[in-house]
Amino acid sequence: MTAELVRGQNHPLPGTRLEIRVSAAGPVVAGATLGDEEGRLRDPGWIAHPGSPRLPGLEVSGQAAADHRLAVDLDALPDGARRVSVLLALPPGAGGPRSFGALAAPLVAVTGPDGAEAVRYTVTGLGTESAVVAVELYLRQGVWKVRAVGQGYAGGLAALLEDQGLPREPAAAVEESAARMTARPAAVPPPRTGGTDPARHTAPAGSGAAPASPPPAPAARGTGAVDYRHPRRRTTAPPPPSAPPPAGPAAPSSAPGGVARPVAGDAAGWSMEERLYNQVWGMFEDLARTTAAYRGAVDFADSRMEQELDRMLSDPRTRMSAAADTAREEARARHARLVDQARAALDRDLAQLTAESEVVEPALPPAFARWDSPVWHAYEVPAETPMALRLGDLGLPEHGGLRIPMLIRLPLERGLWIDAGRGRSAASRMADARELRRLAGELAAAVAGRLLAVHPAGGLSVHVLDPAGAAAPALAPLVDSGALREPPATGPGGVVPVLEDLARHVDMVQMAVRGGAVGSLPPGADTAERLLIVHDFPYGFDDRAVTLLRYLTDEGPSAGVHLMMVADREDARGHGPVLDPLWRSLLRITPVPDDHLADPWVGHAWTYEPSLVPHGSRILSQVLEKAARARGRHGR
């Protein structure tokens, strides 16, 4: 499974022979530096860049490009090298962007010797920076790991190298050499084909992907309609140029109303599950870009009308004349035409995506489906864990009733925080505090139940900390079905023993991984994934419990221990800033609709709608009972 990192997270590497793939929205320079145990450069000879692309154990591209592949052999690095920093920089030139903030967020993926992708990181949050340390490979206690860094530098490559310990003059010389090599003209790469590129997809909100290009600007008069379509989303290969037209009457290619007839699972992928996953993400990208195009066109129309009206009002001798009145009406009419054109393009794309959603939604497997989907009534315990899980739905104000499933990859590399407090949305502000906590508990049960349902029998165990005992009604489906191996731990005294047991498990797994003896764990050791649900945090937590919780948050995912917190952040203010890193590392979801999730393509504030079990439905209990019986048959 691919681990999707956020800034600051680390992950063990699959080996010492690696390939690092870089995917960007435009040409970038890719390089790497070697560092000692403190991350410091010894001299310019420890820098691989287009002017000097090869070092022992390291090779980078000699040209600026949108896609790069860096070869790394950690066993062949020079003596004393304990760190490899992967650098990205914008090539000089007046024709290109001058900062990463003007481009889509680049993506870096680390693959093993077999080509299987182990880790990916989308470098988000950049603004005026023109150079960035994307990721670093580092040696810690004999184990090589990769860390998502995302540290940008507005001063360019020279400033980056200075920060790593290189004096100013050699740093400037390296930057000049790299610029000289990348100034050579390069061949334009062919367009991508074969559907959406799964290497470009990540979860929104803090975890996200990047667009292939900035939102398109409004077309100038006489240039034709603006193409708002996804620039990379192609589901079939184009015919050869010399292909003759088909004989006989053409098959209808569109549904009534001029909307192209969609097909479920027409994206790239080896399995139907992967094709549907890629198709959903393609729909999400399309929706983000077409909305950005619409908003950009409206902003352009507003700005243009404002400028025209300002010019008319600047001369007091003519501002009240009949000619000025006519000019104002013409300006407003031009504004209305531009807005109407943008809205027509948006409505066209929304109609296409709505038609696609109506076809895709019924075809989704249980892991991707809503709780009211008929697919749950035919549920069977799977033999393998799926590639992703549905957490809810996402939408924007312009979309009306169109919602896109929010899918996150499995296993969970980020914990979940179900916010039981009031958020920014009207639904959250108007809800009673007790009602919000009740709904937060129900959402926790629904997410945990879905996770249990999509794992093979015995593949996931759930542990619950409920010191206040307030979660009993919400967690009843988990308890009554026998899905929990042990009852929820209640009372302050039940918190630390559960946390200590999970911490020991993490320590044992990490030691086995470091020693290369994963297959030699003690007899009877439970190798299943584990989910810890913490309800009403921080009630019942002392300093020892908080320290253990932070340890599990940081180190647990690499050992298969994942966290779900049900809490109001305001309740934890008493612990001060010590818990801020914990909150930032978790993906926040809400029990009522709220627009708190932002995508890194264009920064839309998406409205998240939780995936709750319909009121009065027993589908969750029925699914959990079937999963519990399967676990019993397997003796787990």
Cα–Cα distance for residue pair 188/43, rounded to 1 Å: 34
pLDDT band at 523 (very low <50, low <70, confident <90, very high): low
Kindly tell me the burial class for residue 39, based on how many C-beta atoms sit within 10 Å of its own C-beta (0-12, 13-18, 19 or more): middle
What predicted TM-score, i.e. pTM, was given to this entire model?
A: 0.60
Q: Taking 90 as the threshold, does the pLDDT of residue 62 lie above it?
A: no
Kindly tell me the burial class for residue 583, based on how many C-beta atoms sit within 10 Å of its own C-beta (0-12, 13-18, 19 or more): middle
CA distances from 32 to 68, 82, 115 (A): 12, 13, 20
* The two structure tokens encoding residue 277: 């996953």
In the block, which residue shows the tokens 């809503």? 370
Q: Taking 90 as the threshold, does the pLDDT of residue 86 lie above it?
A: yes
Peptide bond into 538 cis (omega under 30): yes
Q: Taking 70 as the threshold, does the pLDDT of residue 212 lie above it?
A: no
Cα–Cα distance for residue pair 498/77, rounded to 1 Å: 43
Cα–Cα distance for residue pair 123/435, rounded to 1 Å: 38
Phi, psi of 111 (to 5 degrees): -120, 155
Sign of the C-alpha dihedral computed for residues 173, 178, 180 and 183 taken in this order: negative
Q: Taking 70 as the threshold, does the pLDDT of residue 111 lie above it?
A: yes
Alpha carbon dihedral 204, 395, 26, 176, in 10-degree steps, equals: -50
**E strand or H helix that includes residue 503:** helix 495-514
Is residue 538 within 8 A of residue 573, CB to CB? The reply is: no
Q: Taking 60 as the threshold, does the pLDDT of residue 98 lie above it?
A: yes
DSSP code of 489?
Answer: B
| DSSP helix, strand, coil percent of the chain (3-state; round to 5) | 35, 20, 40
Q: Taking 50 as the threshold, does the pLDDT of residue 443 lie above it?
A: yes
Q: Taking 60 as the threshold, does the pLDDT of residue 248 lie above it?
A: no
Strand partners, 88: 30, 132
Neighbours of 74 (CB within 10 A): 18
Is residue 99 within 8 A of residue 90, CB to CB? The reply is: yes
Angle at Cα 564 formed by Cα 444 and Cα 388, nearest 5°?
80
Q: Taking 70 as the threshold, does the pLDDT of residue 236 lie above it?
A: no
DSSP code of 256?
Answer: T
* Per-residue confidence (pLDDT) for residue 222, from 0 to 100: 31
* Per-residue confidence (pLDDT) for residue 105, from 0 to 100: 87
Q: Taking 50 as the threshold, does the pLDDT of residue 161 lie above it?
A: yes
Please state the length of the chain: 636
**Segment 480-520, tens digit of pLDDT:** 998 888 899 998 889 999 999 999 989 888 887 776 665 55
Query: Which residues, other chains included, contact 135 with Cβ-Cβ below 8 Å and sequence gap of 6+?
Result: 20, 85, 86, 108, 110, 121, 146, 147, 148, 149
**Segment 344-394, tens digit of pLDDT:** 989 998 999 999 999 999 999 999 999 999 999 999 999 899 999 999 999
User: How many Å separate Cα 397 from the centre of its chain?
Assistant: 21
Q: Taking 60 as the threshold, does the pLDDT of residue 225 lie above it?
A: no
* Per-residue confidence (pLDDT) for residue 18, from 0 to 100: 92
* The two structure tokens encoding residue 327: 């000019």
Q: Is 566 helix (H, G, I), strand (E, B) or coil?
A: strand
DSSP code of 452?
Answer: H
Q: Work out the average pLDDT over 307-324.
A: 74
Cα–Cα distance for residue pair 492/610, rounded to 1 Å: 30
Closest CA to 428 of 440, 417, 416: 440
Worst-scoring range by mean pLDDT, 85-89, 242-246, 499-503?
242-246
Average pLDDT across the chain, whole number: 80
Q: Is 193 helix (H, G, I), strand (E, B) or coil?
A: coil
Cα–Cα distance for residue pair 233/555, rounded to 1 Å: 37
Cα separation of the two ends of the chain? 23
Alpha carbon dihedral 446, 447, 451, 454, in 10-degree steps, equals: 60
Kindly tell me the burial class for residue 501, based on how many C-beta atoms sit within 10 Å of its own C-beta (0-12, 13-18, 19 or more): exposed
Worst-scoring range by mean pLDDT, 224-228, 254-258, 278-282, 454-458?
224-228
* The two structure tokens encoding residue 399: 């979309």
Q: Taking 70 as the threshold, does the pLDDT of residue 284 lie above it?
A: yes
Q: Taking 70 as the threshold, does the pLDDT of residue 286 lie above it?
A: yes
Angle at Cα 293 formed by Cα 89 and Cα 150, nearest 5°?
25
Cα–Cα distance for residue pair 66/21, rounded to 1 Å: 11
* Per-residue confidence (pLDDT) for residue 451, from 0 to 100: 95
pLDDT band at 581 (very low <50, low <70, confident <90, very high): confident
DSSP code of 591?
Answer: S
**Segment 294-304, tens digit of pLDDT:** 888 888 888 88
Q: Taking 60 as the threshold, does the pLDDT of residue 258 lie above it?
A: no
**Segment 118-142, tens digit of pLDDT:** 899 999 888 889 999 999 999 887 8
* Per-residue confidence (pLDDT) for residue 88, from 0 to 100: 93
**E strand or H helix that includes residue 21:** strand 17-35
Cα–Cα distance for residue pair 214/224, rounded to 1 Å: 19
Could you give the percent of the chain with pLDDT greater than 70?
A: 82
pLDDT band at 624 (very low <50, low <70, confident <90, very high): very high
Q: Taking 60 as the threshold, does the pLDDT of residue 223 lie above it?
A: no
- Residue 309 or residue 198, greater confidence: 309
**Segment 535-546, tens digit of pLDDT:** 989 888 988 999
Closest CA to 51 of 41, 38, 64: 64
* Per-residue confidence (pLDDT) for residue 486, from 0 to 100: 87
